[in-house]
Amino acid sequence: MTHELRAGGFGFFFSTLLLCLPSAFSVFSSSALATGGTGSSGLWFIFQVSQYVGTVGIIVAVVLTIMKAGEGKISRAVIGLMTFSIFLAVFLQWYAIHIYRSPWF
């Protein structure tokens, strides 16, 4: 019986973090909009773009995580960190939407 060594994969973890970063931008811009920040049209644009890009980033991160978990060549700890960052990004997206309620919906 041979066991393959599962090691590494931190590059995939950092790419997952990068894909989930727009969710943090949406929280910051949503918070600034909710407190009546200056230049609200620019903040509104940043909020909308980061919300849409963050959603696409979450989808790509989920696909990347599922692919790498299916291969079984990277460590389970890295897969766990990737999964945690995806759940954190989903929470941040939800929180950003609920901090500032859009006047259009």
Cβ pair 59, 65 in contact under 8 A: no
pLDDT for position 30: 86
Alpha-carbon 83 to chain mean position: 10
* Residue 13 burial class via C-beta count within 10 angstroms: exposed 0-12, middle 13-18, buried 19 and up: buried
- From the DSSP assignment, how many helices (H) and strands (E) are in the chain? 3, 0
| CA–CA gap between residue 26 and residue 91 (Å, rounded) | 11
Stretch 47-61: mean pLDDT = 94
For range 52-60, the mean pLDDT: 95
Q: What's the confidence (pLDDT) of residue 74?
A: 87
Residue 77 reports pLDDT greater than 80: yes
> Is pLDDT of 69 > 80?
yes
Residue corresponding to tokens 């939800």? 94
* pLDDT band, residue 5 (cuts 50/70/90): low
Distance of CA 41 to the CA centre of its chain: 24
pLDDT band at 73 (very low <50, low <70, confident <90, very high): confident
What does residue 4 show for φ and ψ, rounded to 5 degrees?
A: -80, 145
